[in-house]
Amino acid sequence: MANKPKTIGWKEVVDLPDLDIYGVPAKVDTGARTSVLHCSHIQLIKKGRKQFVEFRPLDGHRLPPSGTYTLPFHSERKIKNSFGQEENRYIINTTVSLFGEPHPIEISLRDRSGMEFPMLLGRSFLRKKFIVDVSRSNLSGKAISHKE
């Protein structure tokens, strides 16, 4: 039997353990299909015959800089931004941690320096795993701190 979906709030603090990044403020956005992470210096590079995406996550977003990462290129996708304009974005596969549990996630990389939240959790990630209670926030962190 499938796990019962957990309830999350309209915003959560998430960890990206594969990237060694912790405490990222994320807005839960059921209007966005794809999850997105604020990055700068996003570029496609080639190493031998393989393609990689190089980027600096959370660069200049009121969080400590985390350096430059190079991850395998997963895909490039046309994604509509919040203004309804289509943009090409690189997609990476990684892991996000909520309630102390790891979940695989596809994340598009985009400069969100003008936005309040450096990360959005989109509905493709949320589907069948979480129920959103828009009247609450930071339920994942509260659940973990009550366990300790």
Which of 62-66, 68-72, 89-93, 117-121 comes out lowest in average pLDDT?
62-66
Q: Is the pLDDT of residue 82 over 80?
A: no
First-to-final CA distance of the chain: 28
| Domain-wise residue ranges, the chain | 6-147
Q: Note the CATH architecture for domain 6-147.
A: Beta Barrel (2.40)
The per-residue pLDDT for 66 is 66
Q: Which residues of 69-82 are buried (b: 16+ CB within 10 A; e: fewer)?
A: bebebbeeeebeee
Q: Is the pLDDT of residue 1 over 50?
A: no
User: Rounded to an integer, what distance in angstroms lies between the CA atom of residue 29 and that of residue 140?
Assistant: 16
> How far is residue 121 from each of residues 17, 19, 67, 138, measured CA to CA in Å?
16, 17, 22, 13
Q: For 31-76, what is each residue's pLDDT tens digit? A: 999 999 999 999 999 999 999 999 999 876 655 556 889 998 889 9
Average pLDDT of the chain is: 88
